[in-house]
Amino acid sequence: MLAEAEVETGAETAVAVPTPRSPMARLRRRRQAKSKFDVQPSQSSAVLIATVGTPIPASVIRQAVKLSGGDPVAVISIARIYGSSFGLPNPGLLPTRSEMVEQRAMVNNAIDRLERVGVEAWGQVASTRRFAKTITLAAQARGVSHVLVVTPETPRWRKFVEGDVAHDVSRKISHKISRKVTVESVPA
């Protein structure tokens, strides 16, 4: 189904014949396509404040400033994707726009409070099912020595059902990062 087309340019006439696109050309083009996700921030930090949708209290900010010793502090907030990865994707399980705006506002508020104290700060909002893995990757990329996980006050049965965020993060960090990184659970 290749058709020849005559194109008139000034005094001469050129014949343009389209070439068939090979499967390898399409494959190469797909590989060169722009990535769908942002690159993991890699500014070095001394402390990482991590939260799974819980507001960051002032006590956590004070503790992070004390632990950092004037070095930069990173803030990461996780917008949870509910459901399992085994079923069909359902957009109702993803965070809504208002939830994402709320997460960004929470991170911006924490960054403002840290900068008012005089500490340089960076923030990040991530949507994931595996929040412990995401927090661990952020800690590894930034080279932190302390991770403060903000945990809400919950009954023991709920921790049993949902899991303890700080415990999961400390377990993942001990396997992923060879240097000593302390993980603390800070109540909200």
Q: Which residue has the higher pLDDT, 33 or 133?
A: 133
d(CA 147, CA 165): 12
Structure tokens at 50: 């991590």
pLDDT averaged over the chain? 80
Q: Which residue has the higher pLDDT, 1 or 74?
A: 74
d(CA 104, CA 67): 24
Of the candidates 48, 47, 53, the residue with the CA atom closest to the CA atom of residue 151: 53
d(CA 57, CA 106): 10
**Whole-number pLDDT of residue 24:** 55
pLDDT at 28 over 80: no
Q: Label residue 26 by pLDDT band (50, 70, 90).
A: low
pLDDT at 126 over 60: yes
**Whole-number pLDDT of residue 130:** 86
pTM over 0.85? The answer is: no
> What tens digit of pLDDT does each residue of 63-115 get?
999 999 989 999 999 998 877 667 666 777 888 899 999 999 999 999 999 99
Q: Label residue 124 by pLDDT band (50, 70, 90).
A: very high
Q: Which residue has the tokens 């000593």?
A: 180
**Whole-number pLDDT of residue 25:** 55
pLDDT at 57 over 90: yes
Q: Which residue has the higher pLDDT, 173 or 11?
A: 173
